[in-house]
Structure 1
Amino acid sequence: MESQTNRQTATGQLFVVATPIGNLGDITFRAVEVLKNVDLIAAEDTRTSRKLLQHCGISTPMMALHEHNEEQAAKKLLSRLLQGESIALISDAGTPLISDPGYHLVRKLRSEGIRITPIPGASSVLAGLCAAGLPTDHFRFEGFLPRSGSSRTTALQRLAASNETNVILESPHRLLKSLKDLMPLLEEQRELVVARELTKLHEEFVSGSAGRLIEHFSERAPRGEIVLMIGPALPKNRGDITDSEIHSLLETEAMQTLAPSARAKAVARELGISKSRVYDLITGQ
């Protein structure tokens, strides 16, 4: 298999550059340097990005790359990269490709042997998680929930059954609906956290049950971009889980590929029971 770096000779490279999610001071020195020195910046919305570039004294030309023109834009960008130009990809805010355009571009360029260089920085998902007080050893990024239909129902049920922290992006006018849809599916004491206006002047974290959050945001209409985090399902009463149920899960194909200790940990997390109990069943103790 030929690596990107082996193909990287006369061609240019694409930099995937994270930008601030609110506070313009969160852009990194490296990001500014890259944006100043590339030949072109592909931006989700050039009008939004121009404010950031002006703030940082960046005059690099821009072109639009969004969900409606990504395929055509990718062809133009590939042509310029093959001529040796360097290009930066940015989204309206945060890290590109995370619920933003860019996946098809990056995939196409990688297939053509173009070097892709990430310039990490702000992310609303990680910013919310690190200050929410929910478990972060395992988490799942859900993105935006489907707005209606069976796909939404399935997504909500999956969130309710999850034994890891789940992260959802929400708009202020849909937050209450999502909380009300989740409420009957969650345990009464299940903890949720709403992170709002992250890194901005009116940044806010509100935690509690779905009912408490519904009450809070019914009285105070939410504004700004929102990250909704749902804590893991509460552990079941150990007496409710039989050895037969544990063995059934241990015998699934996915579990068979794991070492005994890893199997015990995975099953214990899934069923909300102790790892030692599962390990004892595996080893026959």
Structure 2
Amino acid sequence: MLGHTLGVSRFPWPGAGAAGLAIILWALVPLLMIAAGDLPPLRLSAMALLAGALGTLPMARRRRPRAAMPTRIQGVAINLLGALLMAGAVGACFAAFSLAPPAEAALITYTWPVIFLLASRWMVLRRLPLATLGGALLAFSGAALLVVPQALSSGVSGAWGGYLLAFGTALCWALFSLASQVPSFRFGERMPHLLLIASVMTGIASLALEGVSELPSSRELLATAALGLGPYGIAMLAWDRALGDPQAHRLGNLAHAVPVLATLFLVIAGVTSPDWRLPLAAGLVLWGSVTASTR
């Protein structure tokens, strides 16, 4: 989800190991959210993002590239843009998992690399190669395999709202990834600040929309801290380390395994019942994502 701007060269992990760590942590998001209990989605988002900000602050190393630094107003605008996209992605993701089955919501959420590829290749080439279009159709057909039966049976009620939020999460992460490609934005080195601002945004939204509730239990706090420090802290830094590897162009495709692993973890944990549609949908999303990224 990041570019190459975060200074994490102090980490001794090889690129493949760092990429693998990030992918496993991202795939654990649905399970960690379930472990967080019945915390309202926006409150859970605010707490997890705060944990991520505190966790990345001591690990991130600030670098000053030779490129012209943005003005103070531009820096504030960049921070607000990145934080808004991150708050939207995390908040919508947690709300989606609370409304829709976690495995299905996770598969839809992790179509974001395909959306990112569609947008970035259109911006560069002003056209979409057949491989990109074909891969996108495969990936979205995998998501549709899960969504369409629910839509036909319950219309716009039930889990349908969660599916829409999961797709909104995918859009936010795709836009965040596009913005991170702008060299002057340097989202990587801004990560602790982005997470902190996003935490404040979701916290204010939680107070306005969810009200004030009782304090979370120690188990919920532990799960929330793990959610923030893992997928939104260490995973971000590890993935940035992987993207700095000479073989980064090969490691990038590993990200498409996230929805497959997320589904597998949910089935192993007994949260999701085995269903023939789940492995087929996960395979279509994985196949489509790899096909779309073919140069």
Do the structures match in fold with TM over 0.5? no
Q: Which has the higher contact order (CA 8 A, sep 6+)?
A: 2
So what's the TM-score if we normalise by structure 2? 0.24
Report which of the two structures shows the higher radius of gyration computed on alpha carbons. 1
| Higher strand residue share | 1
| Higher helix residue share | 2
So what's the TM-score if we normalise by structure 1? 0.25
